[in-house]
Structure 1
């Protein structure tokens, strides 16, 4: 990390109340989990158990593919939407361009989001 970033972070931490400094540290550890590094210095103190569970947002009986994506993003707020963008777009394209059934597309999107969550918490089967 460049020295100027480290210095600025140190200045900010010194000026924050203890609770906000702790929240900043938690957020930094969260970012480390998402964007991870390698080696012992990148091992965060946040465990998979500390990553929140997906929210319980039930799937409506009638739902468009776009609304399903919005629901899944709300269900899995801990996931980085940018990491899902290409795969989500590819799946949606099969519905819009190729006319694939929306129920099949929504089910595939649900699997995609669940798989990314399981990788985040370390429960993936790979």
Structure 2
């Protein structure tokens, strides 16, 4: 409440041109905040079905879209290891994709556990 009174006092002491500029800036900030809220990733995995025929790269893309709330850097190492298993060691794509799905599900569970822990500690 104190900040709003201060803002109103400052606003009243500005010239009409600067008042208009301040209003435009406030509208800009309000729109930006609304866009950030709208752009927030979903909290639950998206229901993107696994196609019958899928290569490992497309599976990783699909899983990244399915789990947009996960930090890519946390998954990158494990996903890269699975890609190496497929490309270098000749492990079948289906087996690698199964493992990738488990990795993403595990990371999602860890994400949920961390959120719960944050709620409990605050």
Q: So what's the TM-score if we normalise by structure 1? A: 0.60
- Structure number with the bigger relative contact order (C-alpha 8 A, sep ≥ 6) is 1
Displacement of 1:80: 1.0
Aligned to 2:77: 86
Matched residues, number? 87
Task: Verify: 1:116 aligned to 2:107, yes or no.
Answer: yes
Aligned with 1:65 (options 37, 42, 56): 56
Over residues 63-119 of structure 1, what are the superposed CA-to-partner deviations in whole Å (9 max), with x where a residue is unaligned? Answer: 001110010011011111111111100111001000001111000000000111111
Task: Verify: 1:104 aligned to 2:95, yes or no.
Answer: yes
Unpaired runs of 5+ in structure 2? 1-24, 115-122
Return structure 1 stretches of 4+ with deviation > 4 angstroms. Answer: none
Q: So what's the TM-score if we normalise by structure 2? A: 0.62
Counterpart Cα distance in 2 of 1:23 and 1:58: 28
Unpaired runs of 5+ in structure 1? 1-13, 31-50
Aligned to 1:48: none
- Which has the higher Rg, Structure 1 or Structure 2? 2
Counterpart Cα distance in 2 of 1:59 and 1:22: 33
Instruction: Judging by fraction of residues, say which structure has more helix.
Output: 2
Counterpart Cα distance in 1 of 2:89 and 2:56: 14
Q: CA-atom RMSD, angstroms? A: 2.5
Aligned to 1:6: none
